[in-house]
């Protein structure tokens, strides 16, 4: 299975002092490296969850290392972590599972030294799919956690 990540322009590209808004795509190679795609500025998507999983895998933790480095280098930046699910189960079950995914990322970031006051997290269930939940491949893409820069509008939520 392929993992898809939307790399945050502000999180990764800023580290390289670049301003890129185009798509970047690398294929899964023999070392089972995840696919990397810049799709939208300021969003990092981490996917690779099985249908019911809420646990971070080692590859997911490795992907989060870039976020951790960026947050430690930019102590005034706050983030929003949104958990997502496919539309496999009931709305309430998907909402709970997505919240557990966001909570797992939140807890991991805290374990790595990121202050809880800099992180907002929530479950979004199946309300914001990347692609239609029309087949297993698309459902896998929708089982994800997205990390966004927290804007002033988000801080009051």
DSSP states of 1-66 as a string?
---EEE--IIIIIGGGT----S--EE---TT-PPEEE--STTEEEEE---SS--SPPHHHHHHHHH
| CA 56/CA 141 separation, integer angstroms | 16
Residue 20 has pLDDT above 50, yes or no: no
Q: Do residues 81 and 106 lie in contact, with contact meaning Cβ atoms separated by under 8 Å? A: yes
Q: At a CB cut-off of 8 Å and minimum separation 6, what does 43 contact?
A: 6, 8, 146, 147, 148
Residue 10 has pLDDT above 70, yes or no: no
The whole-number average pLDDT for the span 21-32 is 33
pLDDT band at 47 (very low <50, low <70, confident <90, very high): confident
Specify the CATH number for the domain of residue 69. Answer: 3.30.1330.60
The whole-number average pLDDT for the span 133-144 is 94
Specify the number of domains making up the chain.
1
Largest CA distance in the chain: 45
Its pTM stands at 0.71
What domain range includes position 113? 4-156
In this predicted structure, what is the pLDDT of residue 43? 83
């Amino acid at each position: 299975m392929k993992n898809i990540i939307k790399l945050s322009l502000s999180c990764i590209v800023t580290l390289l002092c670049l301003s890129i808004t185009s798509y970047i795509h690398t294929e899964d190679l023999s070392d089972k490296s995840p696919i990397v795609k810049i799709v939208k500025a300021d969003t990092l998507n981490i996917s690779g969850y099985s249908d019911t999983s809420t646990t971070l895998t080692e590859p997911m933790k490795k992907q989060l290392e870039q976020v951790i480095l960026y947050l430690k280098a930019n102590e005034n930046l706050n983030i929003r972590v949104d958990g997502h699910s496919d539309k496999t189960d009931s709305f309430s079950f998907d909402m709970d599972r997505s919240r557990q995914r966001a909570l797992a990322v939140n807890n991991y970031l805290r374990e790595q030294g990121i202050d809880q006051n800099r992180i907002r997290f929530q479950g979004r269930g199946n309300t914001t799919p990347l692609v239609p939940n029309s087949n297993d491949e698309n459902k896998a893409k929708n089982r994800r956690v997205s990390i966004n820069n927290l804007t002033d509008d988000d801080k009051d939520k």
